[in-house]
Amino acid sequence: MANQRSNSTLNSVWSGNVSYFVKLVLIFMPLTAAVGCTNQTKSSAASQVRALHTQGMTLMESGRYTEAVAAFDEALLIAPNTPPPNTLLLKGLALRKLGQQKEAISILDTIPADSGSAYTLGLYEKASLLAEMERHDESIPVFDTLLAIKPRHTKALHNKSWSLNELGRHEEALTVINMALEYDPSYVRALSKKGNILRNLGRYNEALASYK
């Protein structure tokens, strides 16, 4: 039952139907802390990690991001050799909210590739951060890694098209944004982005049609 709830919650993050950070706060999958000591101590350490992880999520939900980072750091200190992927993810998100973009990227880079949804969410956040920092040539390969796993990720396609457009690669940007609209024809931001790309290509009548 717990695994079903976790999978359902993680899948809902991609739907975009409710507040992004409210949904992220609900990402609480079972956490383990592998420490080289007795089973009783391992159990105690795992409980501490879970409690600190939950505390950090609650602080994020209330907008107290500095305190959330401190809670996540404390949790990570308990399990330095096997840091819980979701704790790494949420620490990266909290750092991003604090405007500490480089630090956020560094943390997101440490999420293991076999971490499932934590890894793909981390890829999306990293790529989007790089794009926001106008490091578009770096963001595109990260979007590509994510899209190889989740080819129908329309937000990633939208943001990749933005990076391509900013680099002057307008034809490629148009191809990518058309893919996003193929998966979600009512994606308003993608329609607007397509209009911008078409305008950059000098195809003004098509751009106007896209804005309607």
Q: Please give, one letter per residue, the 3-state secondary structure of 129-154.
A: HHHHCCCHHHHHHHHHHHHHHCCCCH
pLDDT of residue 154 exceeding 60, the answer is yes
What pTM was computed for the model?
Answer: 0.79
d(CA 192, CA 208): 10
pLDDT of residue 34 exceeding 70, the answer is no
Asked if residues 27 and 90 have their Cβ atoms less than 8 Å apart, the reply is yes
Q: What is the per-residue pLDDT for 206?
A: 92
Sequence-ordered list of residues with C-beta below 8 angstroms from that of 157, at least 6 positions apart, any chain: 143, 147, 176, 177, 179, 180, 183, 190
pLDDT of residue 71 exceeding 80, the answer is yes
Residue 95 DSSP SS3: helix
Asked if residues 154 and 190 have their Cβ atoms less than 8 Å apart, the reply is yes
Pull the structure tokens for residue 40. 């009783």
pLDDT of residue 50 exceeding 80, the answer is yes
User: What is the pLDDT averaged over residues 15-43?
Assistant: 45
d(CA 127, CA 124): 5
The residue among 72, 84, 85 whose CA lies nearest residue 35 is 84
Q: What is the per-residue pLDDT for 43?
A: 67
Instruction: Give the chain's mean pLDDT.
Output: 84
Torsion-angle region of 202 (φ positive above 0: left; ψ -120 to 50: alpha; else: beta): left
Asked if residues 49 and 77 have their Cβ atoms less than 8 Å apart, the reply is no
Distance of CA 202 to the CA centre of its chain: 33
Asked if residues 88 and 107 have their Cβ atoms less than 8 Å apart, the reply is yes
Asked if residues 69 and 84 have their Cβ atoms less than 8 Å apart, the reply is no
pLDDT of residue 29 exceeding 60, the answer is no
d(CA 138, CA 192): 24
Angle between helix 170-183 and helix 188-200 axes, rounded to 10 deg: 160
Weakest-pLDDT range from 4-8, 116-120, 122-126, 201-205: 4-8
